[in-house]
Amino acid sequence: MTASAGSASGESGTRADDAPAFVVRRLGPADAVAYRATMLDAYEREPAAFTSTRREREALPLAWWERRLAAGPDASEVVLGAFERAMPAGVVGLSFEAREKSHHKATLFGMYVVPHARQRGLGHLLVNAALDHARSRTGVRIVQLTVSQGNERARLLYERCGFIAFGVEPFAVAIGSTFLSKIHMWISLAV
């Protein structure tokens, strides 16, 4: 799907006439090399935003990344990518619960926009594309996520997309000797 984004505030789904459109699509195993490179960049640039580290994910074989991008309508994980002129500009993932009692939940993970594509509405576009995909899955009623406390830009993005905070997990991740809390957020997919 081709989608437009590009306002200076990052809140609009429309773009300026001179801004190129982003193409958002589901990634597949053939995208594993580009997805891996994008996420390794994310872990390096934004260590406080992610629970995983570059070192631990860099050590994983390419097959792990390919499995994360498995095709099929019932895949346990789905990753969407945004491309600008065929170059990766951002990614977001969804993990779907398989257990019967929690089958109604999905978790948004790995949200990242490359630095040169920021402040153009791409984050909003990716989150909404992920929510649309979650709505397309039978039985999924809510999407949850965590955002590092202090990451105000990300928290505000999620709030603009309709997510509501419901708790804070203290000492959620350690970066060296510093501990960060995670804000837990959720959104109902009911229309």
Contact 105, 144 (CB under 8 A): yes
In a domain, 176, yes or no: no
Strand order in the sheet with 105-113: 2-3, 22-26, 77-84, 87-96, 105-113, 142-148, 178-188, 164-175
In a domain, 99, yes or no: yes
pLDDT in tens, 65-124: 999 999 988 899 999 999 998 889 999 999 999 999 999 999 999 999 999 999 999 999
In a domain, 169, yes or no: no
In a domain, 115, yes or no: yes
Would you state the structure tokens that stand for residue 14, as one six-digit string? 């429309």
Contact 25, 83 (CB under 8 A): yes
In a domain, 28, yes or no: yes
| CATH classification of the domain holding 128 | 3.40.630.30
In this model, does residue 6 exceed pLDDT 80?
Answer: no
Q: What is the count of structural domains for the chain?
A: 1
In a domain, 158, yes or no: no
In a domain, 168, yes or no: no
Residue 6 vs residue 189, higher pLDDT: 189
pLDDT in tens, 7-52: 333 333 344 445 558 999 999 999 999 999 999 999 999 999 999 9
Range of the domain at 64: 2-140
Report yes or no on whether pTM surpasses 0.75: yes
In a domain, 147, yes or no: no
pLDDT in tens, 161-170: 999 999 999 9
The pLDDT value given to residue 120: 94
Quick one: which H or E segment has residue 49? none
